[in-house]
Amino acid sequence: MITSPHIQKTGLALAGFHDYLKPGRVLVFGESEIRFLEQLPPEAIAGALQLSQYDIPCVLITGGFAPPPELVAECARAWVPLLRTSVTTPLAISKVSLLLEDTLAERTVIHGVLLDILGLGVLIIGESGIGKSESALDLIARGHRLVADDTVEVRRRSETILVGTCPELTRHHMELRGLGIINVKELFGIACTRASKRVEMAVQLERWDPAKEYDRLGLDDTFFEILGLRIPLIKMPVAPARNIAILVEVAARNQLLRARGHHPAKMLAARLDEVLAGSEPDPLDGDLTEGEDE
Task: Note whether 47 and 164 are same-domain residues.
Answer: no
* Predicted confidence (pLDDT) per residue in 48-58, tens digit: 666 666 788 88
Question: Does position 281 have pLDDT exceeding 80, yes or no?
Answer: no
Q: How far apart are CA 196 and CA 165, in angstroms?
A: 4
Task: Note whether 98 and 14 are same-domain residues.
Answer: yes
Is residue 185 a part of any domain in this protein?
A: yes
Is residue 171 a part of any domain in this protein?
A: yes
Task: Note whether 118 and 215 are same-domain residues.
Answer: yes
Diameter of the chain by CA atoms?
116
Domain at 91, CATH number: 3.40.1390.20
Confidence class for position 141, pLDDT limits 50, 70, 90: very high
Active site residues: 111, 132, 150, 216
Is residue 276 a part of any domain in this protein?
A: no
Look up the domain containing 36 and give its range: 8-102
Q: Residue 180, Cβ neighbours under 10 Å: how many?
A: 8
Structurally, the chain folds into a number of domains equal to 2
Task: Note whether 123 and 245 are same-domain residues.
Answer: yes
The reported pLDDT for the residue numbered 294 is: 47
Task: Note whether 18 and 111 are same-domain residues.
Answer: no
